[in-house]
Amino acid sequence: MTLGGGRTALGEVTTHNIKQLKKLNSVVFPVSYNDKFYKDVLQAGELARLAYYNDVVVGGVCCRIDLSEGQRRLYIMTLGCLAPYRRLGIGRLMLDHVLQYVEKDGSFDSIFLHVQVNNESAISFYQKFGFSIVETKPAYYKRIEPADAHVLLRAEQKTLRKTNEEQVNHPTVNGTMSNGPTTNNSNHHNPHQHYNGRAK
Amino acid sequence: MSANPSLPNNRTLPPKEYALFKRILKCYEHKLYKNGLKFAKQILGNGQFAEHAETLAMKGLILNALGRREEAYEYVRRGLRNDLKSHTCWHVYGLLQRSERKYDEAIKCYRNALKWDSANVQILRELSIVQVHTRDLVGYRDTRNTLFQLKPAHRASWIGLAMSYHLLKDYDMSFKILDAFSKTLTIRDSYDYEKSELLLYQSAILEESGDLQSAKKFLLDHERDIYDKYTFHESICRLYLNLGEYGRAEAGYRKLLSMNQEDGAYYEGLAKAMQIADDPAAKLQLYRNVERQYPRAYLPKRLPLDCAEGEEFLTYLRPYLAAALDKGTPSLFTDIKPMYQNPAKVIQIGNLVESMANSLRDYGKFSKDDEKVASASALLWTYYYLAQHYDYHRDTDTALAYIEKAIEHTPTLIELFMCKGRIYKHMGDMNTAAQWMDEARELDTADRFINSKSAKYQLRANRVEAAAAVCGKFTREGASPMENLNEMQCMWFQTECALAYQRLGQLGDALKKCHEVDRHFTEIIDDQYDFHSYCLRKMTLRSYMELLRLEDVLRAHPFYFKAARCAIEVYIHLYDHPLQNKSADEQISPVVEAVFSDISIIYVTYAFQADRRHFHF
């Protein structure tokens, strides 16, 4: 895929490159995430992706499945891109990946996320993809101003009804997604990553 | 190994025991050592044959293969004492010596064996191998001659004989033997790569002899049967050039360029053939023409930078750099670095990249007036280049300022942290350097290159254990990293280790590492042993010749030089400052000291040889 003169691609998050995601998030978001967050990301399979532009990591997306309130919803925890690489279609690339995942799965009620109320560019970005503000949570953020957050939500049409609780918890999409980590695959998009280490 | 039962006296065994003896030989050949010992016991257990010489010798040989060296010597010597006229006993004794790399002793044993069985092909073959291994070239030729007379029908007899003359620089004889040999070959219809190799080897002999005309004619006459087309064309072009047949050389190099546009030697040859090697303008024209013919080739774009000057240099440099920076080429600085020998070019490069950085920052283009918008990562790579540019001049403040700008732009690029580490290294701040290199390593723990870099920087900061732990992430699991690195002959690590220990004053540890490196070189030289017979069979004669020549100057390798220099420094230091106030164990006794000085003489000799061979460090 070529955008703005550069090649873009998505790649997996593994134990080997997770520090790049941490670095990225630390500059893109005013909120810092704890070790638990990154531990979960390593288990997230297709729900976590790094975005590459000309073979350099410039973006990342991390989601989790939320089963609260008797619903099965996809929650986008983070989706961000380094400032010099915005407006090149990298956000779209990542969000498309998430939307495709949800569509293939077919059993999600909705996708939702939180956005700081003053983050207009993010709000309009998600609105383009069919998200809308459904709620505003006052004092959602602890250490940043403004502390209020909008909840953006996009309702999904379920194509597949799953009754088995276990299946719901462990979705398989075309048989490619497992609940476990997929850390030992080398990432073909990243020239720095040549996994020639020991056998797992 | 053959045992001749017809020989007289106590050597002869009755049929039953003789059958057992033959089974011992079989077992040894097939490495069935336990069974071999069992059969030996059956013969020796019979009081009548308890002192049977050849059985005792064979038992010793098997024990040696099992690593029981002292017993092995005992049995072999006992066997030999019992029958000094047995070629088998002498042969076995030779094998034993050879296995311990006592080559001179082995040769003596083989010669004794041949005294009693002068036509024993197996012993002659082994003798010849030890001779070429120790470069007893005259002896090698004589043995090959004997083998040739005994086995003229064997292919290896011819090849070995020719090779022995070649090694003695008797090109004429060597060529004649091979020529006679190839006439005996039946022509096969199908693809015969071995024949092709033989032909190329013959032409190499002619070329080395200085008879370029014959070499050329030989190659042309056999073109049809030579399948290694690159070597064929490269050789014939070189011959045309050296014979002054420039027109043919030019056509040849153009042919080579059509096969591969990315070999600089072809461009060089072509320029020589066109007699424009010293004419930059003509060379530039040549590169333009080649580029027009092969628009996707890389070298026609790179080579002009070496010969263009002044304004013209800029016209080539600008698009070259812009393309590389736009794409994101981590190796760009290394690629351009050779031009830093030219002060005028350095200034041009610096100014151009600075102006590119400014335009990219302000307009997102390499130049304000460009139509094309640069890629979003171009500014990043431009900052990265400038950091290296200023680091090269040891303007570390500016270099650091640029690397910080790059990190601010894209904090996920691993190269930036490596570069930052390198800048601190050049400042002499090894601790901070190691810290940044490790930061880079953590960004991609699956990358062995950056892993090694980080380990090396730890060693520069004298943190040997930390370095071993870093390397341990890639060494075999269950083994200590230090031991595994030694096993893998990881010499850069061991040499850096030695230097760290030297700085830390742990001289014993430093010497240990230096000697490990020395042992690797001994091992590499020993490893050629198996190739002496293998290459004759496989006909890889040109490569084999290269191998022999490489092994002759192996210790001139920079790795050796570096470790040897460290060892010499440590030994000289120990000589000048004998250890004092140390426990008896740590004290270097006068005897050990004498050994040390011997060893350091050896090192100095090797280092001196290395120096004479024009290796510059």
Contact flag B376-A55 (C-beta cutoff 8 Å): no
* CA nearest to B3, candidates B131, B17, B65: B17
Residue A187 inside a domain? The answer is no
Is pLDDT of B567 > 60? yes
pLDDT bracket for residue B600 (50, 70, 90):
low
Q: What is the pLDDT of residues B77-94, one digit of tens each?
A: 999 999 999 999 999 999
Q: Residue B47's pLDDT is what?
A: 84
Contact flag A24-B327 (C-beta cutoff 8 Å): no
Look up A75 and say whether it is catalytic. yes
pLDDT bracket for residue A189 (50, 70, 90):
very low
Domain count for chain B, please give it.
3
| Mean pLDDT along residues A188-200 | 30
Residues of chain B with C-beta less than 8 angstroms from the C-beta of A54: 327-328, 375-377
Residue A135's domain comprises 2-169
| Mean pLDDT along residues B208-234 | 96
Is pLDDT of A140 > 70? yes
Domain count for chain A, please give it.
1
- Domain termination site, one of B381, B411, B441: B411
Residues of chain B with C-beta less than 8 angstroms from the C-beta of A196: 446, 448, 474
pTM (whole model) above 0.90: no
Is pLDDT of B419 > 50? yes
Residue B333's domain comprises 314-411
CA distances from B504 to A58, B128, B332, B470, B497 (A): 42, 48, 37, 20, 10
> Which residue of chain A has the CA closest to B474?
A197
Residue B70 inside a domain? The answer is yes
Look up A189 and say whether it is catalytic. no
Q: CB-side exposure of B117: number of CA atoms within 13 Å?
A: 22
Is pLDDT of A160 > 90? no
Distance CA B126, CA B92 (A): 11
Residue B594 inside a domain? The answer is yes
Is pLDDT of A2 > 90? no
Residue B7 inside a domain? The answer is yes
Residue A199 inside a domain? The answer is no
Q: What is the pLDDT of residues B491-542, one digit of tens each?
A: 999 999 999 999 999 999 999 999 999 999 999 999 999 999 999 888 899 9
Residue B549 inside a domain? The answer is yes
Is pLDDT of B5 > 50? no
State the smallest CA–CA distance between residue A192 and chain B in angstroms: 6
> Are A162 and A168 within 8 A, CB to CB?
yes
Q: Does B488 touch chain A (CB under 8 A)?
A: no
What is the CATH number for A74? 3.40.630.30
Residue B327 inside a domain? The answer is yes
Residue B442 inside a domain? The answer is no
Residues of chain B with C-beta less than 8 angstroms from the C-beta of A85: 376-377
> Which residue of chain B has the CA closest to A194?
B447
> Are B300 and B290 within 8 A, CB to CB?
yes
Q: Residue B319's pLDDT is what?
A: 96
Residue B529 inside a domain? The answer is yes
Q: Which of A75, A97, A140, A141 is catalytic?
A: A75
Residue A178 inside a domain? The answer is no
Distance CA B485, CA B479 (A): 10
- Domain termination site, one of B385, B411, B437: B411
Contact flag A197-B474 (C-beta cutoff 8 Å): yes
Distance CA B179, CA B585 (A): 65
- Domain termination site, one of B116, B137, B161: B116
Contact flag A6-B377 (C-beta cutoff 8 Å): yes
Residue A188 inside a domain? The answer is no
Residue B303 inside a domain? The answer is no
Choose, out of B372, B381, B420, B447, the residue to mutate when testing the contact with A (most A CBs < 10 Å): B447
Distance CA B25, CA B5 (A): 14
| Mean pLDDT along residues A137-159 | 91
| Mean pLDDT along residues A45-61 | 96
Least confident of A144-153, A189-198, B285-294, B356-365: A189-198
Coil vs helix vs strand at B499: helix
Residue with tokens 């794409």: B327
Average confidence score pLDDT of chain B: 92
What is the CATH number for B23? 1.25.40.10
Q: Residue B188's pLDDT is what?
A: 63
